[in-house]
Amino acid sequence: MQANTQNKLNVATPLHVRFAAMNLIRGSDREQRLFLPECVEDYVGADNMVRFIDAFVDSLELAAAGFAFPKENSQNRGRPGYDPACLLKLYLYGYFHQIRSSRRLEAECSRNLEVIWLMRKLAPDFKTIADFRKDNAAAFKTVLRKFNQVCQKLELFGGELMALDGTKVKGQNAPDRNWSLTKLEKQNQKLEEQLEKYLKALELEESQPAPQPAPLSAEQLRQKIQQINEQQQQNQQKVQQIEALGQTQLSMTDPDSRSMKGAHGHVVGYNVQGVVDAKHHLLVITEVTNAPVDQGQLVPMVQSAKAELPAMEGADIVADGGYYKAEDVKTCQEMGMQVHLPEVNNSPSERAGLYGKKAFEYDQQRDLYRCPAGQELTKRREVLDKGRRLFSYDNPAACEQCALKGYCTKSGYRTVSRWEHEDILEQMTARVAAEPEKLAKRKTLIEHCWGTLKWILGGGFLLKGFKKVGAEVSLAHLVYNLKRALNVVGLEKLLAALGPDRGSGPEKSEKSGRAGVLGLCERAACALLQVLQWACWSISWEPRPTE
C-alpha cells in the first residue's frame, strides 16, 4: 500500500520538483525580470565572426561590383528598397552556417541575435531575399575575388603547389526528367517490344469468333497501344530537341544540368572544378561546368587560377589521371606551369597483354626506339591523328626473325608511334618520378575543400542554370576560404587587412560615444527603474506578478 502511494507520487510529481534537491545547473525562472542589454551591440562579442562579414561588406563598392540598387523615386514616393549590403551580409552569414533557403534566412532575421545585429533589426521577407540572390548572381564572383585579395594581402596563398580536381554536385533536376539519346533509344526498344506483344494479342482476340477469357480485353489492348504510340511520339520529339540543341542530353527542369557519374553513382547536376593552394588549403578558383568528365578542364582552370593569382607563375599543378590530355600538358608547360599527372595506360598493346610502350627506350640523339630484343626501330612515316602530328617507328626485318614476337605484336611487325611533342610528356613522367610526394599530396589538399563545400551545399544546388548555380558556388567558396582564414590568422588580423577604410556603417563613430556615455546612462536609468518597481511590489503599492 505504501509502495503504491510512493509510485503515484513519483508519476504525478514533475521532474524538476522530484530532482529539486540534486545539485544541477538549471535555467532561471521564466517570469523573472531580467537586466538584458538594451543595446543590440552588446549581444555580439568582440571576437564574433559576424563583425568581419559586416566590415568586409561595408568595405566593398557594391555598385562597381555589379549589384543592382533599387531605383530611386524622384518624388520620394513609395517604400524605399533594402540596401544590397544588408542582403549580402545576410547571405554570407547564412552560407557560413549552412542556411541557404530564403525562408530560413527570413526566420533568422527575427530570432537570431547575430543576424539581428548584422541586419540592424531589418527583417526582409523571403521573396526579397530570394530575388537578391537571383538578380545579383553574377556579382557574387566579384565579392569572392575581393575576399581572395584580402587573403593575398595576408599572404595566405603560397602559389607554389596547387591541386586541381572536380566534384559532381546534384542540381534541381530529377533523374527521370533527364534524357540522353542512349536512354531514349533503350526506352524506344522496350516500347517496340511491348507494342508487338499487344498487337499480337489484339490480333488473336479479334480473329476468334466468340470472345474468350483473356488477361486484357480488346478495348484495353487498344488503349495500351495508343499509350505506347503517344510515348513513342514524345520520345521522338525529345530526340529532335536534343539534336536541334546540338547536345547529347536533355534536362527538362534545369536545362543546363547534365547526368554524370559521381562518386556514389549517377547524379544529374554540375561538375564543379576547383584549384586549391597547398599553403593553407585555400581555394584559388572554382568554376561550374556541365562536362560529364574532367578531361579538357586542365587548361581553362589553370588559366583562370593564373588570372586570379598572378604569383603562381611556375607553380606545380597536381591533378588525377582524368585530366590527362597531351595537348593540355603542353599548353600548361607553355604557360610556365609544371604539371604533375599520373601515367595513364592507354596503350592498346599493353591492354592486349603485349609489350607496352614503356618497354621501348627512346634514343633522342639518334631519334630511334630500342625494343626489348635490342633491335632499333627507326622513323618511317608521319600521320595526322585528331590534329596531332605522329611519327611511326618500326623495323619489319628484325621483327620477322624475332624470338619475342609473340609477346610484342599480333601483326607482321611492331610499330611504335611518337607525338611530335612527346618530350614534354616524358619530362612530366620524369618530374613525377623525381617528386612523387607532390602528386601524393593531391588527395589531402582537395578532398578537404570538397568535403566542406559539399557540407555548405548540403543536398545540392537550390537554384537552376549556370549563372545562379555559379552564385551559389561563389558564396560557398568565399565562406570556405573565410573559415580557413579565420582558423589560420584569426578575426583581428582579417579585420586589420581590410584597411583603415573598412568602416562599419554610418553609426561607427557614434557607436563608441553611445556605448561610452549614453549607453551607460541608459542602463543606469533602466536599473533604477527596475529597483523602484521591485520596491513598489515589496511594500504592496501594486499587485506583484505571479511568482
Binding site for ligand SF4 (CB under 6 A): 371-373, 375, 398-399, 402, 404-405, 408-409, 414
CB of 400 to ligand SF4, least distance (A): 8
SS (H, E, C) 339-404: EECCCCCCCHHHHCCCCCHHHCEEECCCCEEECCCCCEEEEEEEEEECCEEEEEEECHHHHHCCCC
Nearer to ligand SF4, 374 or 458 (CB): 374
Nearer to ligand SF4, 257 or 349 (CB): 349
CB of 385 to ligand SF4, least distance (A): 21
CB of 319 to ligand SF4, least distance (A): 33
CB of 357 to ligand SF4, least distance (A): 11
Nearer to ligand SF4, 126 or 413 (CB): 413
Nearest to 159 by CA among 288, 310, 57, 40: 310
CB of 173 to ligand SF4, least distance (A): 52
CA 329 to chain centre: 26
Beta strand pairing call for 316-318 and 338-340: parallel
Q: Is 447 helix (H, G, I), strand (E, B) or coil?
A: helix
Nearer to ligand SF4, 118 or 408 (CB): 408
Nine-digit cell string for 475: 558564396
Other residues' Cβ atoms within 10 Å of the Cβ of residue 107: 15
What's the CA gap between 164 and 227, in Å, rounded? Answer: 49
Nearer to ligand SF4, 188 or 375 (CB): 375
CB of 285 to ligand SF4, least distance (A): 46
What's the CA gap between 53 and 318, in Å, rounded? Answer: 33
Nearer to ligand SF4, 81 or 372 (CB): 372
Torsion sign across C-alpha atoms 174, 177, 180, 185: positive
Nine-digit cell string for 33: 525580470
CB of 148 to ligand SF4, least distance (A): 53
Other residues' Cβ atoms within 10 Å of the Cβ of residue 374: 9
Nearer to ligand SF4, 371 or 457 (CB): 371
Nearer to ligand SF4, 48 or 417 (CB): 417
CA 168 to chain centre: 8
> Can you list the alpha helix ranges (DSSP code H) found in 119-211?
126-135, 140-153, 181-207
CB of 416 to ligand SF4, least distance (A): 8
Q: Is 19 helix (H, G, I), strand (E, B) or coil?
A: coil
454 in Cβ contact with 170 (< 8 Å):
no
Nearer to ligand SF4, 326 or 404 (CB): 404
Nearer to ligand SF4, 40 or 354 (CB): 354
What's the CA gap between 175 and 266, in Å, rounded? Answer: 9
CB of 409 to ligand SF4, least distance (A): 6
CB of 363 to ligand SF4, least distance (A): 14
Nearer to ligand SF4, 96 or 393 (CB): 393
Nearest to 296 by CA among 386, 161, 410, 393: 386
CB of 375 to ligand SF4, least distance (A): 4
Nearest to 476 by CA among 496, 491, 460, 498: 460
Nearest to 318 by CA among 164, 534, 111, 141: 164
Other residues' Cβ atoms within 10 Å of the Cβ of residue 455: 11
Nearest to 149 by CA among 287, 271, 284, 320: 284
What's the CA gap between 544 and 547, in Å, rounded? Answer: 8
